[in-house]
């Protein structure tokens, strides 16, 4: 967050510069950068005296990028010569090459092109080669591209030319069709099919149809010949249909199964998918299907869902049998150790259950906290501290790339800052990377600490991994919204990892990942100011609106933070469906039966994070079970006399390392790359 950035800013510039001078440079840079983004040379007057400032090269790059359509090579070459190796220089080269391709200036393009700039530019380079009437050579020009399931539009003319030159043999076409089919890219299959010989083209079209329109493929399959390629198409269509409508896939399977001589592997793949999606639909037949799967049709997913369905049915004997059938590595997972204890308790094996609960309770995870409540033990949180090393810190801060990264963060150019950070630390040892992450934390750049301290012993650096960031008013806004501050902190931490400029593929923005449309409605409902979608990148605005939306979700579910968290992630309509179907289950069992893997893990992550933030704010924590009220009961906010759980660190021999993949410590991917269900925007 730029508003919090770099309290120790004097360390990040030349030692002779004062903090006041640095702040003045930053202010002038912001002004000049705003002008540079409009193009032309007017920025130069604004930037007079900034020539020695570490971010000065970004100013000219911004102006050149704006003027790309009218730019000539001389200006670009001059910039590249002045700033070789800098990130904005690499961006300018890549973008100018794209502009040269648009102009069809293949002579200049070829003179400036460098390999390794992405598939689009690789294909533009091949277009340049074709413009010189040079033939393509498959092994050197196309072999690497041919392994990709999909390619940018720039490659279309190249692939067409390769076909015209006779390079796309039947074997080569089928090899890429198979790659595309494995990746589910029906469009690629359909585009290549017409170039096959007639007898092969029909089979390829049906593979594409199976991927793009499985319902029509299954209707047509009764007339297909029983050939290996058509068997592949049938298998794909059945698997695709199972994901959408498992009962229709069942009907088609009963008709088509006897008609095609599918391999055992294909039959297993179909049975696996059918059983799995009957399970996620909680069909009556689901448990029997999962239990009766042939060994070759089983997978980790089907074995886990066998447990989930048995839990949903509250069939404890079947649940224990399903837990016994898990793979050995699955049995070691905290989730399944917890539920083994849970099931043993239900079956009356109290001493076995208590011993297993106490074992799981040694872990600072969602299931560890649940187990601690079940066994009436304290929460096992063992904080660690980073050792200081002033010499190494000074060396890190003198690194030009890291210096640029910190300064870019300070002036609000966070995407560039993260890129400079990644480049500066590439190939560095783990200790150096952790030291850099701690420096980032101490200077308010929290997301670098969260992502940089996400494995091994660094998981115990709770101060850095769960920053309080009171400067953004989380506590105050949560109190005004009528929700708990630890829960609000947990949502922020799970949604964006404190990346204030985060933006998802569904356009959810900022710390709490709000959609602009949702934020506008929340603002109107609460009488708050609304300045448009970009205002969600301002932390205070985002938190003000996000806490109100959380309160709205909580009110919908009698105040229950865990159900409101599920709704925040998957959408309230979907959660309402789950509640209607399985609303009598214990909350921990209900979470385990959420059909969306992302939402299951999200709820677990948020609930665990709320415990940790509660501890950080108060020195101890409400029991996780307190926040996980039964569906239909009312959750009351904790008062001054609320009973809280003690937190202690078990003896070293008892401390088990937290699995890096456990939901309680799993780090979210950057929201800019998220494809998971988005807040207020459910997907399956």
Residues with catalytic annotation?
Answer: 495
Q: Which residues make beta-bridge pairs with 648?
A: 380
- Long-range Cβ pairs for the range 81-88 (8 Å, 24+): 82/57, 83/57, 86/57, 87/416, 87/419, 87/420, 87/423, 88/57, 88/58, 88/61, 88/62, 88/416
Angle value at C-alpha 220, between 215 and 223, nearest 5 degrees:
155
Residues in the chain, total: 684
Closest CA to 661 of 257, 350, 357, 334: 334
Tell me how far apart the alpha carbons of residues 46 and 256 are, in angstroms, rounded to a whole number: 73
Three-state secondary-structure class, residue 379: strand
Classify residue 678 by its DSSP letter: B
Tell me how far apart the alpha carbons of residues 588 and 562 are, in angstroms, rounded to a whole number: 10
* Number of neighbouring beta carbons within 10 Å of residue 610: 29
Is residue 650 classed exposed, middle or buried when 0-12, 13-18 and 19+ CB atoms within 10 A define those classes?
A: middle
Specify whether the CB–CB gap between 519 and 536 falls below 8 A: yes
Is residue 138 classed exposed, middle or buried when 0-12, 13-18 and 19+ CB atoms within 10 A define those classes?
A: middle
Measure CA of the first residue to CA of the last residue in the chain; give whole Å.
Answer: 32
Specify whether the CB–CB gap between 177 and 202 falls below 8 A: no
Tell me how far apart the alpha carbons of residues 410 and 504 are, in angstroms, rounded to a whole number: 23
Q: Which residues contact 499 (CB under 8 A, 6 or more apart)?
A: 414, 447, 511, 670, 671
**Which tokens go with 178?**
């198979």
Q: Which residues make beta-bridge pairs with 681?
A: 678
HEC states along 601-638? HHHHHHHHHHHHHHHHHHCCECCHHHHCCCCCCCCCCC
DSSP per position, 73-137: HHHHHHHHHHSTT-HHHHHHHHHHHHHHHHHT-HHHHHHH--S-S-HHHHHHHHHHHHHTTPPP-
Specify whether the CB–CB gap between 289 and 255 falls below 8 A: no
Specify whether the CB–CB gap between 630 and 587 falls below 8 A: yes
DSSP per position, 304-353: HHHHHHHHHHT-HHHHHHHHHTS-HHHHTSHHHHHHHHHHHHHTT-HHHH
Q: Which residues make beta-bridge pairs with 678?
A: 681
DSSP per position, 213-273: -HHHHHHHGGGS---HHHHHHHHHHHHHHHHH-HHHHHHHHHHHTTTS---HHHHHHHHHH
Tell me how far apart the alpha carbons of residues 313 and 321 are, in angstroms, rounded to a whole number: 14
Closest CA to 491 of 503, 483, 482, 480: 483
Tell me how far apart the alpha carbons of residues 618 and 640 are, in angstroms, rounded to a whole number: 11
Using the structure block, give the residue that is written with the tokens 């460098």: 114
Specify whether the CB–CB gap between 146 and 172 falls below 8 A: yes
């Amino acid at each position: 967050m730029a508003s919090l950035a770099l309290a120790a800013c004097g360390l990040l510039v030349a030692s002779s510069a004062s903090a006041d001078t640095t702040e003045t440079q930053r202010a002038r840079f912001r002004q000049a950068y705003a002008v540079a983004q409009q193009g032309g040379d007017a920025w130069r007057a604004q930037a007079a005296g900034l020539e020695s400032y570490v971010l000065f090269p970004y100013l000219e790059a911004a102006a050149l990028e704006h003027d790309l359509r009218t730019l000539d090579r001389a200006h670009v070459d001059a910039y590249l010569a002045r700033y070789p190796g800098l990130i904005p220089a690499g961006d300018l080269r890549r973008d100018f090459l794209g502009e040269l391709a648009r102009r069809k200036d293949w002579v200049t393009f070829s003179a400036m092109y460098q390999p390794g700039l992405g598939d689009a530019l690789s294909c533009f380079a091949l277009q340049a080669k074709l413009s010189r009437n040079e033939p393509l050579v498959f092994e050197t020009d196309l072999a690497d591209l041919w392994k990709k399931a999909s390619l940018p539009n720039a490659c279309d003319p190249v692939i067409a030319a390769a076909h015209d030159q006779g390079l796309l043999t039947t074997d080569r076409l089928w090899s890429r069709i198979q790659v595309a089919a494995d990746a589910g890219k029906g469009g690629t299959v359909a585009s290549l099919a017409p170039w096959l010989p007639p007898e092969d083209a029909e089979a390829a079209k049906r593979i594409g149809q199976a991927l793009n329109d499985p319902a029509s493929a299954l209707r047509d399959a009764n007339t297909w010949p029983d050939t290996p390629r058509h068997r592949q198409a049938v298998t794909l269509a059945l698997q695709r249909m199972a994901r959408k409508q498992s009962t229709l896939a069942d009907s088609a399977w009963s008709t088509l199964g006897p008609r095609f001589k599918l391999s055992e592997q294909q039959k297993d793949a179909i049975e696996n998918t059918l059983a799995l999606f009957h399970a996620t639909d909680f069909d009556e037949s689901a448990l029997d299907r999962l239990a009766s799967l042939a060994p070759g049709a089983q997978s980790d997913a089907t074995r886990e869902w066998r447990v989930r369905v048995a839990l949903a049915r509250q069939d404890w004997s079947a649940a224990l049998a399903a837990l016994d059938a898990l793979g050995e590595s699955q049995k070691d997972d905290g989730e399944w150790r917890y539920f083994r204890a849970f099931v043993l308790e239900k079956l009356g094996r109290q001493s076995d259950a208590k011993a297993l609960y106490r074992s799981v309770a040694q872990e600072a995870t969602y299931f560890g906290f649940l187990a601690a409540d079940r066994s009436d033990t304290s929460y096992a949180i063992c904080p660690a501290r980073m050792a200081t090393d002033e010499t190494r810190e000074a060396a890190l801060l003198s690194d030009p790339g890291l210096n640029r990264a910190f300064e870019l963060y300070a002036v609000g150019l966070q995407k560039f800052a993260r890129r400079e950070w990644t480049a500066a630390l590439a190939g560095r040892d783990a200790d150096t990377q952790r030291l850099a992450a701690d420096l980032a934390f101490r200077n308010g750049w929290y997301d670098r600490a969260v992502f940089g301290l996400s494995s091994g012993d660094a998981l115990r650096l709770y101060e850095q991994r769960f920053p309080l960031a009171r400067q953004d008013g989380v506590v105050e806004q949560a109190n005004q919204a009528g929700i708990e501050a630890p829960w609000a902190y947990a949502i922020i931490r799970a949604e964006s990892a404190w990346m204030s400029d985060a933006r998802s593929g569904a356009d959810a923005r900022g710390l709490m990942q709000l959609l602009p449309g949702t934020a506008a409605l929340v603002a109107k409902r609460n009488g708050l100011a609304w300045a448009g979608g970009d205002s969600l990148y301002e932390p205070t605005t985002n938190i003000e609106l996000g806490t109100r939306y959380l309160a709205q979700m909580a009110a919908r579910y009698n105040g229950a933070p865990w159900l409101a968290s599920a709704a925040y992630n998957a959408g309230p309509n979907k959660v309402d469906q789950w509640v209607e179907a399985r609303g009598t289950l214990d909350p921990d069992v209900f979470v385990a039966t959420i059909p969306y893997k992302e939402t299951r893990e999200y709820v677990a992550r948020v609930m665990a994070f709320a415990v940790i933030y509660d501890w950080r704010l108060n020195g101890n924590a409400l029991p996780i079970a307190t926040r996980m009220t039964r569906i239909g009961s009312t959750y009351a906010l904790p008062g001054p006399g609320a009973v809280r759980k003690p937190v202690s660190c078990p003896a070293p021999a008892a401390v088990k390392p937290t699995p890096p993949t456990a939901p309680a410590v799993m780090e979210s991917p950057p929201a800019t790359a998220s494809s998971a269900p988005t807040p207020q925007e459910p997907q399956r």
